[in-house]
């Protein structure tokens, strides 16, 4: 399958919304509002990065990246997600490709690191690890994972996601 990972355009917004709704429709660990999270991030100008997996002009995957605030004021930290891949394209490596592309872009832009909420096994193989020193009060410790870029140390801090996530 020939799939291009590219930055999303304004013209992709409706396709991203529909894709995200369908991708999370049957997800067990979901509030089924991920499309609204993306819309809120977009509306507030808080999408630091929005990548799509484009298969012959159709959006079959999407990853949003937004800044997070840390209680110790460490700059340059971002959150991955929501990450959505259409049901007919799952288990083909598109989520992995989207995450790797986002991480490469964040590194190029000089980011300090990245956080992810989600399936620990998926993110572990991409270099993320559960870090007890980073706390998102609204989530179990086992679900927040972090990846520091370069030789940066992981901060010890409480994490605040953008209000669009509804975590607080």
CA angle 53, 87, 13 (to 5 degrees): 45
The mean per-residue pLDDT over the stretch 104-131 comes to: 94
The parent domain of residue 38 ranges over 4-165
Residue 30's pLDDT is 61
**Count of domains forming the chain:** 1
Q: pLDDT tens for residues 66-93?
A: 999 999 999 999 999 999 999 887 888 8
**Paired tokens of 122:** 């998926």
């Amino acid at each position: 399958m020939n799939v291009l990972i590219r930055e999303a355009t304004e013209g992709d917004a409706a396709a991203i919304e529909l894709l995200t709704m369908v991708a999370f429709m049957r997800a067990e660990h979901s509030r089924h509002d991920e499309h609204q999270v993306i819309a809120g991030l977009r509306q507030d100008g808080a999408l630091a990065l929005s990548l799509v997996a484009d298969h012959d002009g159709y959006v079959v995957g999407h990853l949003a990246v937004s800044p997070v605030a840390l209680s110790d004021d460490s700059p340059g930290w971002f959150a991955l997600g929501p990450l959505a891949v259409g049901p007919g394209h799952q288990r083909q490596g598109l989520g992995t490709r989207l995450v790797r592309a986002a991480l490469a872009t964040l590194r190029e832009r000089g980011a300090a690191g990245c956080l992810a909420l989600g399936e620990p096994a998926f993110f572990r193989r991409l270099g993320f690890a559960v870090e007890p020193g980073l706390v998102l009060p609204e989530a179990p410790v086992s679900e927040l994972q972090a990846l520091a870029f370069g030789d940066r140390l992981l901060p010890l801090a409480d994490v605040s996601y953008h209000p669009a996530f509804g975590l607080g």
